[in-house]
């Protein structure tokens, strides 16, 4: 029996869609995203952890569209802020905040802290749901770095222009796609999940 061959990304964010498409190019699935579907009920990110939010989105969207859904929740965890913004990364500056709003709040919170105290992690949690809304696989990826004093670089999205990979002395927004598909938190999470995706694609 031939299994499904379409994997829907649980996002409409064009930056995430582009990154995931590149990361999943050889996974054996046809890739779609939520912009290919209409009249979907939004799934609120009300969990206290990245895992809870990723599971909610994967299960919530897959049960609506009857397709396999791969959803993520990604958080920036800044050591000096006790792990904030964490699960509220996309809403750090409040409901409806823009990426610029969130970056400005982060810089304000860190103030004049020296570089050695601006360490942080980007963490991605992936959840894969089958067409019935059941979570069948999960994976995590983490990328360590530190927060710059001002945005640098014009690639990437969100906090990428503030997040420096220390050993490269470049932000994710400076490094671009080639480095992102090797170093990023999403890349590491996808690599962990890839054997499962390949196995399911071959069924």
73 is known as an active-site residue = yes
Q: Which two tokens stand for residue 20?
A: 């995931």
Q: Which long-range contacts (CB under 8 A, 24 or more apart) does 158-165 make?
A: 158/15, 158/89, 158/90, 158/99, 158/102, 159/76, 159/89, 159/99, 159/102, 159/103, 159/106, 159/122, 161/103, 162/103, 162/106, 162/107, 163/76, 163/120, 163/122
In the block, tokens 């001002």 appear at 150
How far apart are alpha carbons 118 and 95 in whole angstroms? 25
Choice among 73, 140, 154, 160 that is catalytic: 73
Indicate which residues carry an active-site annotation.
Answer: 73
């Amino acid at each position: 029996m031939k299994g499904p061959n379409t994997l829907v990304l649980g996002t409409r964010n064009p930056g995430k869609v582009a990154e995931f498409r590149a990361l999943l190019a050889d996974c054996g699935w046809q890739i779609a995203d939520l912009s290919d579907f209409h009249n979907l009920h939004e799934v609120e990110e009300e969990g206290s952890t990245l895992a809870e939010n990723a599971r909610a989105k994967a299960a919530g969207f897959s049960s609506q569209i009857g397709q396999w859904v791969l959803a993520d929740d990604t958080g920036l965890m800044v050591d000096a802020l006790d792990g904030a913004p964490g699960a509220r990364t996309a809403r750090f500056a409040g409901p409806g905040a823009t990426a610029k709003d969130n970056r400005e709040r982060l810089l304000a919170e860190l103030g004049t802290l020296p570089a050695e105290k601006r360490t942080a992690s980007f963490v991605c949690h992936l959840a894969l749901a089958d067409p019935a809304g059941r979570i069948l696989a999960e994976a995590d990826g983490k990328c360590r770095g530190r927060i710059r004093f001002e945005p640098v670089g014009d690639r990437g999205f969100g906090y990428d222009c503030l997040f420096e990979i220390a050993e490269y002395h470049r932000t994710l927004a400076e490094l671009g796609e080639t480095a992102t598909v090797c170093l990023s938190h999403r890349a590491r999470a996808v690599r962990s999940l890839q054997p499962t995706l390949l196995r399911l694609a071959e069924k």
